[in-house]
Copies of this chain bind each other. A is one copy, B any other.
């Protein structure tokens, strides 16, 4: 196979059509340049130049090869430049995990922010529940996870990203949906309630269980589901009430009223970013800092 030096020399001669000046441009003398071109021609088995008298002309083969040579040289230069940007994190691939519910709150801001401020970074998005994400973080399948707490401390680091309130989801015709009515947790006692699944949405399940326990309330669970939008569909169908994160407002479903509820104070729903402490993917560092920066400005 030919060398890039030969290609560079060939392009120089092809552009000047003069060995002496081409050699000057390449910071060398003419004789070794002549030999380089000869070697390239022998290597290819093709004449690239017609040396007629003291004039040099490209052959048809040389003409055709010139384009390829330029392309190869350009690609090489480009590759050398872009690989240098990888360790700075400007270029690379980050596998980002997220929970279904975080897709409604922070995911779009994060994806958009990365796209805008780290355009060289490819994101690989993978939805899965927190527990699975933690496993994949440890195995290296994921670089960064958007998970629900807690994050067990074995080799993983984490940082809170976002907190949000829980709102009551009430079908439009329901008495609790009346404009002058302020719902209270106690109103849920004995009421039909669409609950999160303890398996696939354990975090929400446990948050709600602790809310109900603290208030001494016992709703009547009519279903256990994991996806917020499925829960809301059942609420709208009148099968029961539910508690959903505020981000559900963005879903904009008709026929449902979302209301803060007395006794469900503050922002009990937490989302944290987690990553492997010794992950050496440089793009991860850039992405992590950007995500934390976005969180500091209260993304939502």
Contacts from A to B (Cβ < 8 Å): 1-5, 8, 43-47, 50, 59-61, 63-65, 68-69, 71-72, 75-80, 82-84, 86-87, 91-93, 280-283
Q: A60-B86, A64-B82, A68-B83 are in contact. List 18 more A-B contacts (CB 8 A).
A: A3-B5, A43-B80, A44-B84, A47-B87, A59-B86, A60-B87, A60-B93, A61-B87, A61-B282, A63-B93, A64-B83, A64-B86, A64-B91, A65-B79, A68-B75, A68-B78, A72-B72, A75-B75
Q: Which residues of chain B come closer than 8 Å to A92, judged between CB atoms?
A: 60, 63-64
Shortest A122–chain B CB gap in Å is 10
Does B4 lie within 8 Å of A86, measured CB to CB?
no
Does A83 lie within 8 Å of B44, measured CB to CB?
yes
Copies in the complex: 2
Does A1 lie within 8 Å of B80, measured CB to CB?
yes
Of the candidates A4, A63, A69, the one having the most CB atoms from chain B within 10 angstroms of its own CB is A4
Does B4 lie within 8 Å of A46, measured CB to CB?
no
Does A3 lie within 8 Å of B2, measured CB to CB?
no
Does A282 lie within 8 Å of B60, measured CB to CB?
yes
Q: Which residues of chain B come closer than 8 Å to A91, judged between CB atoms?
A: 64
Shortest A123–chain B CB gap in Å is 14
The answer for the CA separation of A78 and B69 in the assembled complex, in Å, is 11
The answer for the CA separation of A280 and B63 in the assembled complex, in Å, is 13
**Given known A60-B92, A83-B65, contact A76–B44 (CB-CB < 8 A):** no
Q: Which of B43, B61, B82, B280 contacts A50 (CB 8 A)?
A: B280
The answer for the CA separation of A127 and B159 in the assembled complex, in Å, is 71
Does A83 lie within 8 Å of B46, measured CB to CB?
yes
Shortest A173–chain B CB gap in Å is 56
Shortest A90–chain B CB gap in Å is 11
* CB pairs A–B below 8 angstroms (17 shown): A1-B8, A1-B77, A2-B4, A46-B84, A59-B280, A60-B86, A60-B87, A60-B92, A60-B93, A60-B280, A60-B282, A61-B83, A61-B86, A64-B91, A68-B82, A71-B79, A72-B76
